[in-house]
A and B are shown apart, each in its own frame.
Chain A
């Protein structure tokens, strides 16, 4: 039975629960035990038992959900993998989690991540790194590394993460699973611990495209607690396409410097499949996308410097110092934040300083507008933009920790879509030297249904097998 359970996608498992073939408690317990004995460092907290009030009759069929530690869950440790929030249990639950629980996906556990979602390798967690189930010497990517590793290893049927500059797509790519970053505003950010408010979005990390669509359709919609959330303009159907006839794909980035040859090769093979399925393929230019990382590393730290200012020792989390106000601030933040978080707070504080604001923040915002315009132009000619998700496959633990810039380059292909606020999905394109390569498909705002449908057809044609990672 367990071997069979493990090979079911979340949607399939949910079907069996609804058909009465699996008891929801049995399914929950199966994954609870796998999560509890996870050796990869994927989890920071695992549920003790199946929740009594689980809406297993709902459309998500009682299939348990891995939840990134960035989401607040009432009464459950929610620390954004930061020491500064160690032991903090929120009095409320994030809207997106609440919606998924109500639709029948009970919380299985809180997954590890880079502290405050700042990182691309999960090595910045305040509670230890996560290992890649394809090769435990390697990183799972980040910042949603715990969610990605848990799903890839079969230690969660599915999970949610957050993506600010690639934090869903890049770990999905490195772990050989599907990761969707939705349109900015499609999913409520309420209860998601903020990193960079104008970029943060939450989305699914799943074994296949159908699972991603299923989770996504139950996360979306306007939330009165998030002013930037929007009514999703149309119904999200489950993907069913087998062919790509009449769809125009614009390829970007395969010739960029620094992309590993194995990645290029796997992407090219996948692009050949697009053509076999009837899709039209052309190369496109995104003239300003190459400046995306530079703009991103001004805007995101600037917003983070304000968002993380509330961790001051006054109301929650740890408190250090000798009793006077300044020492409380300084020591609490010195002791509580990791090096990368401190680096970004300093970058952002500097960028917003009087006299520098326009040169840094102002310029970055203008670049952001240019990049959004590039995509608008591109979507005048093609329906979907295709790029590698990450320039490389999973790298070794410790390989890039000494060199932040090399680490930042991991997000080269994912940051432009974040800046433009448009949706993008990463799907496994194949293997390079035994490690997964991800292909990214991006569309205009609120085109999740279309890109997931195309991804579904392509996924079938590629036939990627992730079983090797589910030991």
Chain B
């Protein structure tokens, strides 16, 4: 962002709840079953059918509201949001409008405007080569998803950059995952993110005209989409134009933004209170049950990692926001006396490098094994590089790191007698490198190091090797 404008961003997040049944009927939630096999008179909106609220969805909604520090409404109601589209079987969505379940919260640095319960739409499948509506000959409807419970979370426009928006989105996702209320899988649409984006001159306090970016299916695309939109708006304003209120689609492949609808095409949803449902008035027991079901949340966990264990902020956040990493780290920490910072570095660097987005608990490396390995490194009984070899073996076939070290002869060389002679023979074998080091080319030491490490199969401690080389050639 150029210095003259600042970004003002708010997010709207739709979370599919992982309840057993749908929001207003007894149909089981669908996970890729054949089309229209998870339906009933209610979610097909047959004549005469009536909705009944899923108690578990209310429970999850309360948990989310509380976890986001919201005020829980003593009485909230459902409204009908009217619009005609084939994915909406009743031609209205049952949602919450001016009396939502939860309001006025905060997560991290961002205020939460509201969180409310509603139902998901059906899925349209377009019969065309692209699978998109344009140019399709026919469309069919799969009602399996119709009526899946959703919580919509709306933030205040407190985010000031695309990167912050993505980072906060990740915190929110981690929080929801930790609550266990949703699969939070963006690819499969169980977490869907829209962004409201505007810019204004720095120092200005009123909001500029906003646009809405729809349905970003990863936080990386969210960040890129917001960046593209910020750039577009800035170009308009710098050219003396005005941003128009519209809804936009970001195509991550082309990086292009396209308009879905303008303000003039905005719907009049004709909201009115849903007469088929009674108000939600949570009892003290319901509130207590929801409160009791909230575990330590990622933001608190990050603070604890930072404050109690002394982890650097970035490491603390990474482990806390990826619940599975945090759990693994804590299990390892509890099983051995390894240093928390060193262990955390091994988890976030070496382990994550090797398993990517996977869950370490599903790997063959027991938390205890990693902790032991890290302890051995700290004690100097195995070198850094040998330890990485051990980790590779653990990932391949599991086992006890001490045994692997022993079997493979990877123990660090504990007295300098053997190492001393290896270093000496390396120096003798490469006089050219010695000359270069002496003349001040520090990089040349790498050639000698490489030869020595090969010779020792990585068992030697790199620092010790360096010390010996310098000692011997007197540089």
A and B pair up? yes
Are A352 and B272 interface neighbours, CB within 8 A?
Answer: yes
Interface centre among B49, B141, B272 (most CB of A within 10 A): B272
Are A303 and B275 interface neighbours, CB within 8 A?
Answer: yes
Q: Does B53 contact A (CB under 8 A)?
A: yes
Are A225 and B50 interface neighbours, CB within 8 A?
Answer: yes
Are A190 and B92 interface neighbours, CB within 8 A?
Answer: no
Q: How many residues of B contact A (CB 8 A)?
A: 28
Proximity string of chain B (161-190) to chain A, C-beta cutoff 8 Å, 1 when within and 0 when not: 000000000000000000000000000000
B48, B53, B270: the one contacting A194 at CB < 8 Å is B48
Are B47 and A72 interface neighbours, CB within 8 A?
Answer: yes
Q: Does B418 contact A (CB under 8 A)?
A: no
B52, B90, B270: the one contacting A224 at CB < 8 Å is B52
Q: Does B80 contact A (CB under 8 A)?
A: yes
| CA gap between A80 and B86 in the complex, in Å | 23
Chain A hits for B50, CB < 8 A: 189-190, 194, 225-227
Known: A309-B82, A354-B270. A94 touches B48 (CB 8 A): yes
Known: A306-B91, A310-B89. A88 touches B47 (CB 8 A): yes
Interface segment out of the listed A312-320, A378-386, A400-408:
A312-320
Known: A190-B50, A227-B278, A310-B90. A352 touches B82 (CB 8 A): yes
Proximity string of chain B (218-253) to chain A, C-beta cutoff 8 Å, 1 when within and 0 when not: 000000000000000000000000000000000000
| CA gap between A72 and B46 in the complex, in Å | 10
Are A357 and B89 interface neighbours, CB within 8 A?
Answer: no
Would you give the shortest CB distance from A240 to chain B, in whole angstroms? 35
* Extra A-B contacts (6), CB below 8 Å, given A94-B48, A309-B91, A353-B270: A191-B49, A227-B50, A302-B272, A314-B86, A329-B84, A361-B272
Known: A228-B276, A306-B272. A90 touches B47 (CB 8 A): yes
Are B46 and A91 interface neighbours, CB within 8 A?
Answer: yes
Are B82 and A190 interface neighbours, CB within 8 A?
Answer: no
Would you give the shortest CB distance from B40 to chain A, in whole angstroms? 9
Can you report 19 A-B residue pairs in the complex whose CB atoms are below 8 A from each other? Answer: A72-B47, A72-B48, A80-B47, A85-B47, A92-B41, A190-B48, A191-B48, A193-B47, A194-B47, A198-B275, A228-B278, A302-B272, A306-B90, A306-B272, A310-B89, A312-B91, A315-B89, A329-B84, A353-B268
Are A306 and B82 interface neighbours, CB within 8 A?
Answer: yes
Residues of A near any B CB (own CB < 8 A): 71-72, 78, 80, 85, 88, 90-92, 94, 189-194, 196-198, 224-228, 302-303, 305-306, 309-310, 312, 314-316, 325, 329, 349, 352-354, 357, 361
Proximity string of chain B (36-70) to chain A, C-beta cutoff 8 Å, 1 when within and 0 when not: 00000100111111111100000000000000000
| CA gap between A194 and B42 in the complex, in Å | 13
Chain A hits for B91, CB < 8 A: 306, 309-310, 312
Chain B hits for A314, CB < 8 A: 86, 89, 141
| CA gap between A226 and B228 in the complex, in Å | 49
Are A227 and B277 interface neighbours, CB within 8 A?
Answer: yes
Chain A hits for B89, CB < 8 A: 310, 314-315
Would you give the shortest CB distance from A86 to chain B, in whole angstroms? 13
Interface SS of B by simple majority: loop
Residue of B nearest to A350 (CB): B270
Are B276 and A227 interface neighbours, CB within 8 A?
Answer: yes
Would you give the shortest CB distance from B205 to chain A, in whole angstroms? 28
The 6 closest A-B pairs by CB, nearest first: A309-B91, A352-B270, A198-B275, A197-B275, A191-B48, A193-B47
A225, A310, A349, A361: the one contacting B47 at CB < 8 Å is A310
Are B52 and A227 interface neighbours, CB within 8 A?
Answer: yes
B45, B268, B275: the one contacting A310 at CB < 8 Å is B45
Chain A hits for B47, CB < 8 A: 72, 78, 80, 85, 88, 90, 193-194, 310, 316
Would you give the shortest CB distance from B278 to chain A, in whole angstroms? 5
| CA gap between A357 and B270 in the complex, in Å | 8
Would you give the shortest CB distance from B324 to chain A, in whole angstroms? 39
Interface centre among B45, B90, B275 (most CB of A within 10 A): B275
| CA gap between A353 and B267 in the complex, in Å | 11
Proximity string of chain B (77-98) to chain A, C-beta cutoff 8 Å, 1 when within and 0 when not: 0001010101001111000000
| CA gap between A329 and B49 in the complex, in Å | 21
| CA gap between A199 and B141 in the complex, in Å | 32
| CA gap between A353 and B141 in the complex, in Å | 29
Would you give the shortest CB distance from A160 to chain B, in whole angstroms? 14
Interface centre among A85, A191, A310 (most CB of B within 10 A): A310
Q: Using a CB-CB cutoff of 8 Å, which residues 268-294 of chain B contact chain A?
A: 268, 270-272, 275-278
Are A309 and B84 interface neighbours, CB within 8 A?
Answer: yes
Chain B hits for A312, CB < 8 A: 84, 86, 91
Chain B hits for A310, CB < 8 A: 45, 47, 89-91
| CA gap between A312 and B86 in the complex, in Å | 8
Known: A306-B91, A309-B84. A90 touches B46 (CB 8 A): yes
Are A227 and B48 interface neighbours, CB within 8 A?
Answer: no
Chain A hits for B90, CB < 8 A: 306, 309-310
Are B92 and A306 interface neighbours, CB within 8 A?
Answer: yes
| CA gap between A224 and B49 in the complex, in Å | 12
Would you give the shortest CB distance from B136 to chain A, in whole angstroms? 11
Residue of A nearest to B141 (CB): A314
Q: Using a CB-CB cutoff of 8 Å, which residues 85-135 of chain B contact chain A?
A: 86, 89-92
Residue of A nearest to B51 (CB): A227
Chain B hits for A227, CB < 8 A: 50-53, 276-278
Are A357 and B272 interface neighbours, CB within 8 A?
Answer: yes
Chain B hits for A316, CB < 8 A: 46-47
Would you give the shortest CB distance from A282 to chain B, in whole angstroms? 35
Are A225 and B272 interface neighbours, CB within 8 A?
Answer: no
Chain B hits for A357, CB < 8 A: 270-272
| CA gap between A198 and B277 in the complex, in Å | 10
| CA gap between A85 and B86 in the complex, in Å | 18
Would you give the shortest CB distance from B437 to chain A, in whole angstroms? 77
Are A315 and B44 interface neighbours, CB within 8 A?
Answer: yes
Residue of A nearest to B277 (CB): A227
| CA gap between A92 and B41 in the complex, in Å | 8
| CA gap between A193 and B49 in the complex, in Å | 8
Would you give the shortest CB distance from A362 to chain B, in whole angstroms? 10
Chain B hits for A361, CB < 8 A: 272
| CA gap between A399 and B210 in the complex, in Å | 57
Residue of A nearest to B90 (CB): A310
Chain A hits for B278, CB < 8 A: 227-228
Would you give the shortest CB distance from A335 to chain B, in whole angstroms? 17
Residue of B nearest to A93 (CB): B48
Are A349 and B48 interface neighbours, CB within 8 A?
Answer: no
| CA gap between A78 and B47 in the complex, in Å | 9
A192, A305, A353: the one contacting B48 at CB < 8 Å is A192
